[in-house]
Structure 1
Amino acid sequence: MTAAACAAYRALKTAERPASIELRLPNGGLLTVPVAEVRPGFAAVIKDGGDDPDVTTGHRVEVAVEPFDGVPGPRDYSDGNLVLTAGSGVGVATRPGLAVPVGKWAINPGPRRMLRDNLRPERRMRITVSVPDGEALAAETLNPALGVEGGISILGTSGIVRPYSNAAYAATVALQFRSLAASGFTVGATATGSRTAAALRRDYPELAPQGVVEIADFIHVAVRAAASAGLEKLIVGCMPGKLFKYACGEKNTHAHKNRLLMGRLAELNVPLPAGVDPARFESMGELKAALAPEAYRAALEALKPLALRVLRGWGGALPVELALYNEKGERL
């Protein structure tokens, strides 16, 4: 999305038609993205998902850029001189618990930050992102169940795709834990993504940057690798959705492999208020929105020992500690 917006804006401003765009990433790095089509005020890129099982891989993401002096719509995002809206193929959030408010376009904070950091127009501009076949693609995802209607979500946190094939990722994770042990670390930590990694580095400064391994969905691989490397303790950082999946014993937590079945809360004897049927929810975020804070916390506290039992079973003699965070990086 950001690469197409920058190409469209450059073509509008200078009549240049760049074949690629260099983007600044959240981690300070640079990424060059090819541009499939560009003309003044319009550009398209082709989504490259790498090895990640993403249904949008190979499909067009189109962006139109135009001067704007009007009032943003109720679904739009306004940030300085940028008004971000959506055209066909991008969904709208209809349920609480997602990374975007109900009623807004399903364009997550990460991509919006990247757009803001890379596109700084001198005057107010409207950015319209479309995915031509997004509505059909969304039927192949969990979006309808999660409450995103009318198209796909625009996701992302780091701006890059990591290798998510099982063999490649397992080898990468195992290598990182062996490297930690060889460097003299006795304690390591796992993070499911960049937000959890940042929170762990904040709360466990002794781990330094290399002591936190980003494992994505490969929790079983990670715990076994940490144990094999000879670490003396492993801190498992996660958010509530992953905590629930760990408690259920799921070795790979990718949504396409293991959908979050909230009805299993009852099977695990997690306490919920009378009359609350967990099966009617699609995510822990949606459950949180429906419960009083103390009831939600009681559910999380009940899940923690169940998840630890599973994790410690995978790790054998390796002591495992849980560090649970919310989407803002706050400790729960």
Structure 2
Amino acid sequence: MSVYSLKSSKGPLFPLRSILVFLIALFGFYVCYFSFNQITLESKDNLISGEEQLRTPCGRRAVPNELMQYVHFPKPASYNRGECACNPVRFFVIITMQRSGSGWFETLLNSHPNVSSNGEIFSIRKRRENASSILRTLDKLYNLDWHTSAAKNECTAAFGLKWMLNQGLMGHHKDIVNYLNKKGVMVIFLFRRNTLRRIISVLANDYDRKTKQLNGTHKSHVHSKEEAEILARFKPKLDVAALVPSIRNAEQSMADCLDHFSSTRHMILFYEDVIRDPNALSRVQEFLGVPVMRLFSRHVKIHTSPLPDLVDNWDDVNEELNGTEYAHFTDSADYVK
């Protein structure tokens, strides 16, 4: 075999080498293309993740697990909370009875820059016609779409209302309890220990509603000593025969309320305690999760005199209660600070 024949036998290797180089180049191109796509996809994922964080930047890291359901980040339909969107809000309701100091108590809460209590929103009958209307009203309130003079700003940290027992609360208590627990609403029970004083205040307020003693205007609460003195001049005459049953009915209503709403996260507060205990309001603020500070009110108390000076037929009232479980109501010791 000649040398030329040996060399010619190597000829077919050239196209094989070309094919091999082409395949290697193609594989390299594929690897580079795949890697580039992976980087692009990761970048897009990171961008999307960043956008998601921008849309939902709020966290509950500083909130204990047991309180997690009571911390909210509402998104009102009527305005944008803006920079306050991540300011956590706690929902609350003050459950009380007429003439139990709730008006004064609510002004104290509203003196706090981070608290908005919106009054008796269920005093309007159509809002409490049935359970559905009640829950719709509560949804609007707790979405922060409820605008009253009590509203502070978008950074409110505690938002709620005042609710009387006779404003649909007891009649629909099962639906309301379920709503409060599901929505994470905290309850403040505010009652008055001395039911006799509450009855006197109710009668005096009813009288002024009819007579309008202050220049033809009815005022349940006053802001001056002069106005308070005018309203305090009226001394109601109590129905002695109905007095003990009235006290028992009021106390039974309070007991029933506490029983119905016992499953909620709540605190029990008495008007007399707020007056006498300097730490009572601090405990309320801690319960609501707001900074503790000194609270104030412009309300001036109307009935400051001893009980014998507030009732037209005091001797009859005193005799009726003497020897009963309510005899201590005739003593002002449970009221004086």
Larger RCO (alpha carbons 8 Å, 6+ apart): 2
Q: Flag the structure with larger Rg.
A: 2
TM norm structure 1: 0.26
TM norm structure 2: 0.26
Judging by fraction of residues, say which structure has more strand.
Answer: 1
